[in-house]
Amino acid sequence: MHDFNEPFVTAWQLVAAADARLAGIVLLSLRVSLAATAIACIVGMPIGALLAVGRFPGRRALIVLFNGLMGLPPVVVGLLVYLLLSRAGPLGSLGLLFSPGAMVVAQAILVTPIVAALTRQVVADAWTEYREQLRSLGAGRPRAAATLLWDGRFSLSTAALAGFGRAIAEVGAVMIVGGNIDGVTRVMTTTIALETSKGDLPLALALGFILITVVLAINAVAYGVRGWAERRWG
């Protein structure tokens, strides 16, 4: 008979022993979600800044669209990327399906709207303050967008962080496009789902601890960096 505490004890032993299988899963999770967040920032931040300062037809519709896409269901993104990357799909020749690459693509698509929408908010607030001064100095809108992105770099870390939090915590998209293959595409969330259903609670719990710790630690670091930056630059 399982003691209620037993899985916790075993989980802690796994973490303390830096179990190789556990470490592999954690590292893959971090690699995939960091890569996806990086891509989302490179694509989403300029989009957000241009939505904030730009004046072009369809701007309002795009803002509503990106805000709406923040709540994109991961399984739907997973399904769409699956169709794109499947052998018969338009990008099937890349052979990405069931690889970490496919997981990066799916998470990047999931996270880009979040980064873009949060960036737009930060840049729009700054734009109301800087607008006249930047125009007076002769900055065109693209230049103003770039200036405001750089000026808001510390506030924007929050947008990147929200994106990373979303990426590392989602199950649906990586499950579908990665296939949860042991040693290849198994990440923390998919392992937790699988092991819980198999009844291997210690491994699932150990990963749960680590997942929460990673998210908390990254938030703490970002909070610290922001505080330092505000004292340093105002």
Partner 1 sequence: MAWLTLDNLGLTEGGTRIVDGVSLSLAAGRTVVLGPNGAGKSTLLRLIHGLLHPSGGELHWPHALSQAMVFQRPVMLRTTAMANVAYGLKLKGHAARECAIRAREALGRAGLEHLAARPARLLSGGEQQRVALARAWALEPELLILDEPTASLDPASSREVERIIGEIAANGTRILMTTHNLGQAKRLADEIVFIDRGRVVEQTPVRDFFTRPRSDAAQDFLKEESP
Amino acid letter at 53? Answer: V
Q: Does 232 bind partner 1 (CB under 8 A)?
A: yes
Instruction: Pick between residue 67 and residue 157 the one whose CB is nearest to partner 1.
Output: 157
**Quick one: which of 154, 179, 193, 222 contacts partner 1 (CB under 8 A)?**
154
Instruction: Pick between residue 27 and residue 137 the one whose CB is nearest to partner 1.
Output: 137
Q: Does 66 bind partner 1 (CB under 8 A)?
A: no
One DSSP character per residue, 25-59 reads HHHHHHHHHHHHHHHHHHHHHHHHHHHHH---TTH
Residues of span 90-109 touching partner 1 by CB under 8 A: none
| Site map (CB under 8 A) of partner 1, residues 129-148, x = contact | xx-xx-xxxxx---x---x-
Instruction: Pick between residue 31 and residue 226 the one whose CB is nearest to partner 1.
Output: 226
Q: Does 59 bind partner 1 (CB under 8 A)?
A: no
Contact 63, 48 (CB under 8 A): no
Tally of CB atoms within 10 A around 147: 18
Min separation Cβ 110 and partner 1, Å: 30
Distance CA 48, CA 54 (A): 10
Coarse DSSP helix, strand, coil percentages of the chain, rounded to the nearest 5 percent = 80, 0, 20
Instruction: Pick between residue 59 and residue 153 the one whose CB is nearest to partner 1.
Output: 153
Distance CA 52, CA 147 (A): 13
Positions that interact with partner 1 (CB under 8 A): 129-130, 132-133, 135-139, 143, 147, 151, 153-154, 232-234
